[in-house]
Amino acid sequence: MVIDTHVHLWRLDRGDYDWLTPARPRIHRDFLPGDIWAAQEDLPISGIIAVQAAPTWAETGWLLEQAAAHPWIVGVTGWADLTAPDARDVITEMARNPRLKGLRPMEAVAAGSEWLSTEAYADGLATLAQTDLVLEALALPHHLRGLAAVAECHIDLPIIINHAAKPTPATVEAWRQDLAAVADLPNVICKMSGFTAQSRDDAFHQHVWDMVYGVFGADRMMWGSDFPVLQETSTYQAWFDLSERLAIGMSQDERDQVFRGTAARCYGLNEEQTT
């Protein structure tokens, strides 16, 4: 069975998805639990992690409500302002909900290479570690060196790099060098998702997969779909099939880690949630 570690849900009338406009017609509509369930039909998906798509606590609360109503939503990665003066109190209160597994800042696209490694984030990141939440890093290739500094400073904080830091054919060489540096930190995990948004070349996807496998190993890789954003460049079935081909060189035990085991361990899922 497979845990999909990166799925978005949204309801447009909530009004907090500024990035989601009619210019993106394939995904400019509501995506609710029933839509996710239908997309996974006939695939061995046993559970999903719902990941925030708006920088609001209100959306995180809504995702937690969806998880409470649908047990196959086995966890939520929400949002909080890690730089806020009251970040410690807010995160501590949020962490009381056992369905909340982690938090994800959204500033990556506009942030410089030092993103997250500045003093402004220090207290929020320390609180994440103290409350047993993970940090989901929506990072780009130029953020990896700064992320390595964060991982070294907060060695007790699990950090999950979303979408393998989005390498493209134009950035892959610099990405490869910096990825190896961040992979040296044992608390960093790499999420294998979002590949088709960066390239439509399966040979390139294999190169990225193999590079991650070479420096992280299967026990620090986890699979995700990035549905429904995935629908702009692929389909759920096509990405799942491609992922199985990309993993063909792995042993069965390694594949089990990538598609289920790493997620179960990092998000603290019990056996009932992973079978």
Enumerate the domain spans of the chain. 2-274
Distance CA 238, CA 236 (A): 6
CA-CA distances (angstroms) from residue 113 to 11, 109, 135?
Answer: 32, 10, 17
Q: Please report how the helices 144-153 and 122-130 are oriented relative to each other, as an axis angle in degrees rounded to 10.
A: 60
- Closest by CA to 11, choosing from 77, 73, 59, is 59
- Angle, CA of 202, 164 and 225, to the nearest 5°: 70
Q: Which CATH number fits domain 2-274: 2.60.15.10, 3.40.30.10, 3.40.50.1450, 3.20.20.140?
A: 3.20.20.140
> In the prediction, which pLDDT does 109 show?
65
Position 113 scores a pLDDT of 80
Who's near 4: CB < 8 A, 6+ residues apart? 40, 45, 47, 48, 49, 223, 224, 225, 227
pLDDT score, position 108: 64
pLDDT of the residue at 275: 66
The per-residue pLDDT string of the chain (275 residues; one tens digit each, 9 = 90 and over) reads 999 999 999 999 999 999 999 999 999 999 999 999 999 988 999 999 999 999 999 999 999 999 999 999 999 999 999 999 999 999 999 999 999 999 999 876 667 788 888 889 999 999 999 999 999 999 999 999 999 999 999 999 999 999 999 999 999 999 999 999 999 999 999 999 999 999 999 999 999 999 999 999 999 999 999 999 999 999 999 999 999 999 999 999 999 999 999 999 999 998 767 66
Q: Which pair of structure tokens corresponds to residue 140?
A: 């780009």
